[in-house]
Structure 1
């Protein structure tokens, strides 16, 4: 989702795997309709060092509290559906916010994909409007507008993402099983959303996500990005390094080695194709969502499905799986 010098899309590996993880408090994440940590091909997301927060109303509300240090306009990949430029808002975090999130004092937040209506010196609180969200060339056409959030240690260059701190959203996410069938309830130029799966009643969890056959809530682009991840409920499922995950009775990946900078279990996808009504599609775009029902987003720029059409999704082994890069 992020890229270019301002976003650090080409380098995001921190040599210090002991870096403190910034854990977003539940009440902050719950201000948004959806969130994802791994649904992107860029290294910041692949290594668990960024989170995308989807407001749902076109307003880029702040997930942090502090003082705006810098506002930058940056170039982004040229996409026909996207704006020609993106924006970076750098916020020096308030001590109280850092303490709540377990971040080192003087940590800096980096916020992208918001057209800034703030300027250096402005104080912002959690929930304050920073400006409208923007359609950025840093993310796919099927991706909804969102606030990209990452964190930099106090002594690092805040204009780059390389070396950002690990980010976690430890609130529990309900894993929801699905049989792969549903009717089209939304259609975009490169995707459709299928009705279902349906959440269980009264779980006490504000977010839910599509579950693997093993009951693990999944995060990421299945499998059009090389890797993905899991959500908080995975801890309850005894997921450990090397655990095999499957979907519709086909292996889709294995949990990566447990490293300190991931913030939650990460998954390396297996070589598989996603099929919709027997034809190959790009993949499934997965995230944690609020509400009694949430749709499964099928990424299918080369296929057309009508509203109300019944679709069956399958996963099959592949010798040439789709893998989208950052170019």
Structure 2
């Protein structure tokens, strides 16, 4: 099946039972074509494990070279599953699943149930330095090429996601060489799904605006969305709910008591508990845990784009 045919197929639902095995998920927070228009989901287990997202028979595993990064391994891995026919109310019939970023402890012919260990997550060279370890999951029709990076069927989370308002301020509670995480906004109801909201309450997903495309969940009826009182993107509704978002040209400025820096972007995702705005600085930053920051978004000639 051609890539455009796969993209036009009915979206594959991601049931609550699948997503609840992981601490966070994102369908858009990636620069790679496999995520274009929400055609894959990244699942963050948060503990280094690699639980199988769904049941099926392993039909192949492959090891592939990945970009050379000083913080990452030299090789990544692909696991291809023939999805159990009865998965998701019968949607598993004639469906293949592609799972990446796991050093496989399974091999062709093995049957795995949902939650079984697939192996160990790897720190892939496909990740930005600020990206946490995760499983990449995408779907193909059974007669499609499972090895190509593009051509997957769109996915849609079959869960309720609360949009959490954020005023752009917070204290740094976690820092890495290329990111900081704030203590705000706080999760409104740990154990349920939540994401930072646009100004109208629409839950957002993706790398704003360091990746060109993002997403919105729920009833995203507006033609455009704003965050912190600035237009950030235009909306294209999706079959099955939610919307794709094309990020506009914006600059994200971060101000502390002693310094101000332009950030690369905001990392947006849905979370069950661990929350707070994650701000990405591709070339590094000078902020520290305990700093009180104010974030603003302004129109710009060009966003800092990484993909």
- Shorter-chain TM-score: which interval? over 0.9
Q: What is the aligned partner in structure 1 of residue 147 from structure 2?
A: 159
Deviations 1:237-291 (A, max 9, x none): xx23x622111111111102x354x863010111001111142110111100112
- Give 3-state SS (helix, strand or coil) of 1:59's partner: coil
Q: What is the aligned partner in structure 2 of residue 206 from structure 1?
A: 192
* Residues 1:33 and 1:163: Cα distance change in structure 2 (over 3 Å): same
Q: What is the aligned partner in structure 2 of residue 265 from structure 1?
A: 243
Distance in 1, Cα, partners of 2:106 & 2:233:
42
Q: Displacement, 1:18?
A: 3.6
Q: What is the aligned partner in structure 1 of residue 234 from structure 2?
A: 254
Deviations 1:29-74 (A, max 9, x none): 0111000000011122122110000000001110010111101000
Distance in 2, Cα, partners of 1:66 & 1:140:
30
Counterpart among 12, 15, 30 of residue 40 in structure 1: 30
Counterpart among 226, 233, 236 of residue 212 in structure 2: 226
- Give 3-state SS (helix, strand or coil) of 2:17's partner: helix
- Give 3-state SS (helix, strand or coil) of 1:46's partner: helix
Task: Say whether 1:57 aligns with 2:47.
Answer: yes
Alpha carbons 1:51, 1:148 under 8 Å: kept: yes
Task: Say whether 1:321 aligns with 2:303.
Answer: yes
* Residues 1:154 and 1:263: Cα distance change in structure 2 (over 3 Å): farther
Task: Say whether 1:145 aligns with 2:133.
Answer: yes
- Give 3-state SS (helix, strand or coil) of 2:50's partner: strand
Instruction: Identify unmatched segments of 5+ residues in structure 2.
Output: none
Counterpart among 248, 262, 279 of residue 298 in structure 1: 279
Counterpart among 176, 191, 202 of residue 188 in structure 1: 176
Deviations 1:115-150 (A, max 9, x none): 101111111010011111111111211011000000
Distance in 1, Cα, partners of 2:36 & 2:140:
17
Distance in 2, Cα, partners of 1:125 & 1:32:
16
Instruction: Identify unmatched segments of 5+ residues in structure 1.
Output: 1-11
Task: Say whether 1:30 aligns with 2:20.
Answer: yes
Q: Displacement, 1:162?
A: 2.7
Counterpart among 242, 261, 265 of residue 283 in structure 1: 265
TM-score (norm 1): 0.87
* Residues 1:141 and 1:285: Cα distance change in structure 2 (over 3 Å): same
Instruction: Indicate the RMSD between aligned Cα atoms, in angstroms.
Output: 1.8
Q: What is the aligned partner in structure 2 of residue 116 from structure 1?
A: 104
Instruction: Identify, as 1 or 2, the structure richer in strand.
Output: 2
Alpha carbons 1:175, 1:208 under 8 Å: kept: yes
Distance in 2, Cα, partners of 1:57 & 1:150:
22
Q: Displacement, 1:28?
A: 1.3
